[in-house]
């Protein structure tokens, strides 16, 4: 909406409520309290809510059929003006609600002045924010699906690509790269579950609560809820206008998305560094240095990691905004919008950037394999092999440790020790030990549910493909 004409100069009096004021509000105070600069994003939701409210007022006989027709005609025109970027927003009219109402009255006269019967901006803004968020949650969920799909397709190409699995950032045991990628798909799936769950609580109707105590008109809230597609009513008028927990939950879910993206970003930064050399990112997602000609910097992952801080900050801002407020509505709540909007922009842009970047990741499988082989990562497999041959685990662990020490002194891999020498550590060792000492043997052996074996990863890829396609 940045293309809209600038807000008109401030006017002296605030017509919506200046009747009992002896002097006009100071110009600075008008600027300080106005929200139209950002709550314009709610305009279409505001119109949708007003249409449902007006239809309900007509149904219960508070508005005439003619008034309703005028309001519908006026709001349709306003929607067009907003969509075409022609609507003149006025800072003096404070917020999105008063701007639209004033324009409606300009267009249709008396009927415009009747629209606000039986409601308040307090229940109006809560309704608008819920309607808006409901639609945006669906967009975030779709963006999550886009990134999950990209990760699953990359995993499909690497079900058997061996890489080091780390604990404490030390090489621990070999894993498959596909398995590693699918770990993130699981995280994003839980993020999606959280959004789906939060959406149910977003999708309840506050309208009818009016300023705080309800209204004396014979309103039909169920009619409005049904018309707007809400799943239920906010059942207490004080709660309806005052709490923003639904927005906090949404931002919390987004903060977790950003934390998950940030972890992936951190890994990409590490993997891209020449010390690892596991992956290369497409040039269009990296930048050069103005001074060091050799550099190719992973700016997109770094920025995503950095932007997670913004969203976490917005979550803290909203929690703090809420914690000291007495019931019911307080103007503090006007501060809920910018954190929500910036969270949305940040999460949607970040998910899009990653969904587009992931398919272009080039993998250096040889570098991954070399790194996985460092530090005798199949020592556990040797111990497990001995246990399966009847050796008690403690003795098996000891024998494997001595074998590791011997290999380390030789500067070779466990699998490179000759059978005769391995047998010196335990007579239970036979020629089949080499099946488990290799990296391929180690990953293939972890074939239980949730394991890293290529066969299991391929199954998971198939499961995810079917699941994502079905959504």
Which residues contact ligand ARG (rule: CB under 6 A)?
A: 35, 39, 95, 121-122, 125, 331, 333-334
Q: Is 168 known to be catalytic?
A: yes
Q: Which is nearer to ligand ARG, 122 or 203 (CB)?
A: 122
Report, in Å, the least distance between residue 35 CB and ligand ARG: 4
Which region, left, alpha or beta, applies to residue 229 given φ > 0 means left and ψ of -120 to 50 means alpha? left
CA angle 272, 187, 458 (to 5 degrees): 75
| Residue 200: Cβ within 10 Å count | 11
- Candidates 53, 64, 289, 426; catalytic one: 289
* Residues sharing a CB contact under 8 Å with residue 410, sequence separation 6 or more, in sequence order: 416, 417
Least distance in Å: CB of 255 to ligand ARG?
A: 22
User: Contact 191/144 with Cβ under 8 angstroms?
Assistant: yes
| Residue placing its CB nearer to ligand ARG in the complex, 303 or 319 | 319
Helix axes 245-272, 337-357, angle to 10 degrees: 30
Nearest approach, Cβ of residue 85 and ligand ARG (Å) = 22
Provide the token pair at 460.
Answer: 């998971």
- The residue among 15 and 197 lying less far from ligand ARG, judged by its C-beta, is 15
Is 338 strand, coil or helix? helix
Q: Which is nearer to ligand ARG, 333 or 343 (CB)?
A: 333
Task: Please state, as a whole number, how many other Cβ atoms lie within 10 Å of the Cβ of residue 240.
Answer: 26
Determine the Cα–Cα distance for residues 40 and 81; give it in Å rounded to an integer: 13
Q: Which of 2, 90, 168, 290 is catalytic?
A: 168
Clarify whether 289 is annotated catalytic: yes
Cβ neighbours, 10 Å, residue 463:
12
The Cα-based distances of 150 to 114, 182, 359, 463, 464 in angstroms read 52, 11, 6, 15, 11
Query: Which one, 35 or 308, has the nearer CB to ligand ARG?
Result: 35
β-pairing, 279-280 with 362-363?
antiparallel
> CA-to-CA distance for 218 and 469, rounded, in angstroms?
47
Question: What six digits make up the tokens of 282?
Answer: 């497409």
At residue 99, the 3 state secondary structure works out as: helix
Bridge partners, 297 (sequence order):
287
Q: How far apart are the first and last CA of the chain?
A: 31
| Nearest distance in Å: CB 16, ligand ARG | 10
Of 76 and 213, which has the nearer Cβ to ligand ARG? Answer: 213
Give me the least distance between CB of 209 and ligand ARG, in Å please.
12
Greatest CA separation found in the chain?
102
Q: Is the separation of the CB atoms in 46 and 124 below 8 Å?
A: yes
Q: Whose Cβ is closer to ligand ARG: residue 125's or residue 300's?
A: 125
Measured from each CB, the residue nearest to ligand ARG is: 334
Whether residue 201 contacts residue 247, with contact meaning beta carbons closer than 8 Å, is answered with: no
Judge whether 355 and 143 are in contact, CB under 8 Å: yes
* Shortest CB 202 distance to ligand ARG, Å: 17
Which residues in 49-196 belong to E strands, given as ranges? 162-167, 170-176
Choice between 91 and 404, CB closer to ligand ARG: 91
Cβ pair 436, 388 in contact under 8 A: no
Alpha helices (H) in 214-323, listed in sequence order: 221-228, 237-242, 245-272, 299-323
Just list the catalytic residues.
Answer: 168, 289
């Amino acid at each position: 909406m940045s293309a809209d004409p600038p807000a008109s100069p401030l006017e002296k009096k605030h017509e919506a409520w200046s009747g009992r004021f002896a002097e006009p509000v100071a110009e600075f105070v008008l600027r300080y309290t106005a929200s139209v600069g950002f709550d314009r994003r709610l305009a279409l939701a505001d119109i949708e809510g007003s249409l449902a409210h007006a239809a309900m007022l007509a149904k219960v006989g508070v508005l005439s059929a003619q008034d309703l027709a005028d309001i519908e005609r006026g709001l349709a025109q306003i929607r067009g003006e907003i969509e075409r970027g022609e609507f003149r927003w006025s800072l003096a009219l404070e917020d999105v609600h008063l701007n639209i109402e004033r324009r409606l009255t300009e267009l249709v006269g008396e009927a415009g002045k009747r629209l606000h019967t039986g409601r308040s901006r307090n229940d109006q803004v809560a309704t608008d924010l819920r309607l808006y968020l409901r639609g945006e949650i669906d967009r975030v969920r779709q963006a999550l699906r886009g990134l999950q799909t990209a990760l699953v397709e990359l995993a499909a190409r690497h079900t058997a690509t061996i890489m080091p699995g780390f604990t404490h950032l030390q090489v621990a045991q070999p894993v498959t790269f596909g398995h590693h990628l699918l770990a993130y798909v699981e995280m994003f799936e839980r993020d999606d579950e959280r959004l789906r769950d939060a959406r149910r609580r977003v999708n309840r109707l506050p309208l009818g609560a009016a300023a705080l105590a309800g209204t004396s008109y014979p309103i039909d809230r169920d009619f409005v809820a049904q018309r707007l597609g809400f799943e239920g009513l906010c059942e207490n008028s004080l709660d309806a206008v005052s709490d923003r927990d639904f927005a906090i939950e949404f931002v919390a879910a987004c903060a977790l998305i950003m934390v998950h993206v940030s972890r992936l970003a951190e890994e990409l930064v590490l993997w891209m560094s020449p010390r690892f050399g596991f992956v290369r990112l497409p040039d269009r997602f990296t930048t050069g240095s103005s001074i060091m000609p050799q550099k190719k910097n992973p700016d997109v992952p770094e920025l995503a990691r950095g932007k997670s801080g913004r969203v976490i900050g917005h979550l803290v801002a909203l929690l703090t905004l809420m914690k000291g407020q007495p019931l019911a509505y307080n103007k503090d709540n006007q501060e809920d919008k910018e954190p929500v909007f910036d969270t949305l922009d940040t999460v949607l842009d970040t998910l899009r950037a990653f969904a587009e970047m992931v398919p272009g990741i080039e993998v250096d499988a040889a570098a991954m394999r070399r790194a996985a082989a460092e530090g005798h990562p199949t020592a556990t497999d040797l111990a497990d092999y001995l246990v399966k041959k009847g050796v008690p685990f403690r003795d098996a662990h000891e024998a494997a440790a001595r074998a590791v020490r011997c290999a380390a002194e030789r500067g070779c891999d466990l699998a490179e020790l000759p059978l005769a020498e391995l047998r010196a550590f335990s007579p239970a060792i036979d020629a089949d030990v080499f099946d488990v000492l290799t990296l391929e043997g180690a990953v293939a052996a972890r074939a239980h549910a949730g394991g890293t074996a290529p066969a299991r990863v391929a199954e998971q890829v198939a499961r995810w493909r079917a699941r994502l396609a079905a959504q």
